Structure 1
């Protein structure tokens, strides 16, 4: 009985010429293998570089923090010092006193100025946020002829310095009989702001169109889509716009100097100017009163920033994500 021969198939799967190419090209190059001691030194060098970079970043951040925070800490410390120690540059007062805060409330209508500023700031921030959002929504959502040139024209208004429109704007408010009131400090925001229109348009452009198309199929109006879909989706941008304008209105001194004449209508910046004139270098040199009033006017903005910090960071991080 014969046994069938078994064919040798060891080279059956090789492609023609494969062995020849391997013989000509040789084996693929291998990465150099470092000895254990070399690998350890390489890892140690990389770890040292990362630690040095992290240390440099932390040191830079600490230095910048000190530079920005020191004036505020100095102001707060000086408000608790007597007149003779205001400029001694001690961050911890040698003589601690709260008399300065009582003097400020007695010498100036701080509560009235704070109330005026709060009303003006709220009206200015709310009006400019809503009107700018409406205009930005129109530029972002609707397609119409001349949209590009018209938007360019809106942006071009940012190139005009405020001094150019100062006199014409004053003449308009004077003809309306509103000079001497707080109306000119916020009513101009009813027409929006080019900067905020650009800012909010960037957010609206980044929204998906599917929710709006579904809302249109359900018969939703343009106002409904804007109020119930667009604004909630752009909440960080809306809060960011509100914070920017609130800070700008709270610290505005130019317009109160032009339009306000009676101390009962003064805002905080205009009131501080009056206190500097009365108690500063041109007056009685009671700088402890001036710095204490400065602390009282700075605290509300610090609180507002911390309340909206999360939206502030989110809004800045996503601004300009789509053009």
Structure 2
């Protein structure tokens, strides 16, 4: 059996398991440095977060870096520094994350306290963007009557580009974004219009390759064979004091589309709606948008209006 076949089988095992459940002190003449007791726990967590980002992305504070480049770099960092949960025992529910700061969520991931799926990933990235001064939202899309497998959550972040403000899509579950064919940033509303007009061939999926993140497997609910294959072939290691294994794994949109056990369900759904079995068309079903800004309801209303003539 080839190495690639093994990788594909392992990916199937991971996705099958997943579908069983469906973020100075001022100075006068002398610079003052706060002592540890002067720093609040929240400030300490925020400092730890920013240090991690600055270490991984030294150029993040470069004034010559465009906002488009910054939001892509921050998405990649979020992908590599979040924990993916592969079963219920490891899952941190999205409602539990909403009141937390991005630094608190990051601290939980560092401690392997639990993992998340697309909803939690998007909350983490949305809060990370806000920490760095970007207006951002979590977008939920799909169909209310459809199964959980046919919904997805990702992030919209506002950036200036050539005199316009664009809402660009960033997906921290699959580590990808969407652009025009020339690589320039694609506005969310323009993306919907292209899909509505069946011009999906004008949309470019920009997928980061090779990046991996921690994936948590909790032994209580993992079927024995999947447990054995996953822990032996994916360089997994036990988390001290827990019935949990931590594995390095890369999940991309392409892998999900090719090997997910719910692909047949996805194909049936889109066939019934009159669309090809391409996950891009899920954008025609905006369900909800959340974010601190009061602009969220207006964004959702505009998205639904644009998609109305295509979505059934």
Which structure's residues are more often strand, by fraction? 2
Specify if TM > 0.5: no
Q: TM-score, normalised by structure 1?
A: 0.22
Which structure's residues are more often helix, by fraction? 1
- Structure number with the bigger relative contact order (C-alpha 8 A, sep ≥ 6) is 1
Q: TM-score, normalised by structure 2?
A: 0.23
